[in-house]
Structure 1
Amino acid sequence: MIAFRCPAQIRPIRFLLSGLAIILLENAWSFSRILASYRLIQSLYERQMAKTVDLDRFDHALLREVQIDNQTPARILAERVGLSQSAVLRRLRRLRAERIITADISIVSPEILGVPVTVHVLVSIDHGSRTFGEFSRKIQARSEVKQASYVTGGADFVLHLQVESMAAYAAFARDVFHDDPNVSEYHTYIAMREVVGSTSKR
């Protein structure tokens, strides 16, 4: 049996075509939307390929640990991953310097901050670079929006909100969705309980 391995120079084309094929199969989109999605996939691929770093099993083990608790002492990490304490510290410095670890943050309880209601929203907008930019800038300026992604599929954006009450969300929806003529539709999903995430217990 002859094993064929895709040449490196062909992989970007295969990656882009695969992503575009998924989009075409899922939705009968206009040409402008297909083009915008193609450019998005291309930019994501270029960002991924622009920075390739070799990670061994110890790096992966450390990354798993610090994603759970980045305050774990190096002595404990060394015991868990099978390295010396000094090796752990060197590797963590390298992972931060190479931007593999991009940030060390603290997860604060939304209830303590007075925003206990978690809302996920799928938003569809009229298409065009101007409307995309305007809507992106608008949600970037709203403190209720904790995360937002431009996505493929039936919607254009997925928003993760933290609000103090349903009344607060109703006011947000009126300001951001109802009063924006470029928003064609949106679907709201209220989280009842976090199953997997930064505040869920494993």
Structure 2
Amino acid sequence: MSGLDAIDRHIIRALRANARISNTKLAEAVGLSPSACLRRINILEQSGAIRGYTVLTGNTSGEEGIAVIIQITLDRQTEDYLNRFEVAVRKHSEIRECFLMTGGADYFVRVEIESAGDFERVHKDILSKLPGVSRIHSSFAIRNVLASQKVRKS
């Protein structure tokens, strides 16, 4: 967030804490008039400092799903292999997040499942069929300690 002044950073912190805060309350919290605050938000959005807003949802049954963090290693790290993998990942709604990584694994992928049987299906029908995959290492989350979300505008 370089290039932002203290007020911009204050606006972003407040929106991260509560993206549904009214402009009037946000303006009051950061010490601006509502019109000046809205102008700042628009500039932050146009510059890409704020890339979008999202909703974090729970399971509709009232029970949390099980988060699985998966490290995926590809056969090769060529541009073609990376592109084919990334195109394939975007086709599966079960895959909630995917990060190109440095270090031991090429990608970290996050999926949410309802049960071990559900993960077996995701592993067999999706993960093992992604192009170029040579190794899959999965870890099940015990509980979520902190959840925040930043997404790009579509």
TM-score bracket relative to the smaller structure: 0.7 to 0.9
2:148 and 2:127 map into 1 onto residues whose CA distance is 28
Distance verdict in 2 for CA 1:83–1:142, change over 3 Å: same
User: Is 1:160 aligned to residue 99 of structure 2?
Assistant: no
Residue deviations 1:93-118 (CA, integer Å, cap 9, x gap): 22122222111222222x11787121
- Alpha-carbon RMSD: 2.4
Match among 67, 79, 90 for residue 28 of structure 2? 79
Counterpart for residue 137 of structure 1? 87
Structure 1 residue 53, shift from structure 2 partner:
7.0
Aligned 8 A contact 1:115 1:162 in 2: no
- The alignment covers a number of residue pairs equal to 147
SS at match of 2:105: coil
- Between the aligned residues of both structures, percent identity stands at 27
Question: Where in structure 2 are the equivalents of 1:1-202 lying within 5 Å?
Answer: 54-109=3-58, 111-112=59-60, 116-127=65-76, 128-179=78-129, 182-198=132-148
Q: When you count helix as a share of all residues, which structure comes out higher?
A: 1
Structure 1 residue 180, shift from structure 2 partner:
5.5
Structure 2: unaligned runs, 5 residues or longer: 150-154
Structure 1 residue 59, shift from structure 2 partner:
0.4
**When the two structures are superposed, what TM-score results if normalisation uses the length of structure 2?**
0.83
Aligned 8 A contact 1:115 1:165 in 2: no
Distance verdict in 2 for CA 1:181–1:76, change over 3 Å: closer
**When the two structures are superposed, what TM-score results if normalisation uses the length of structure 1?**
0.65
SS at match of 2:41: helix
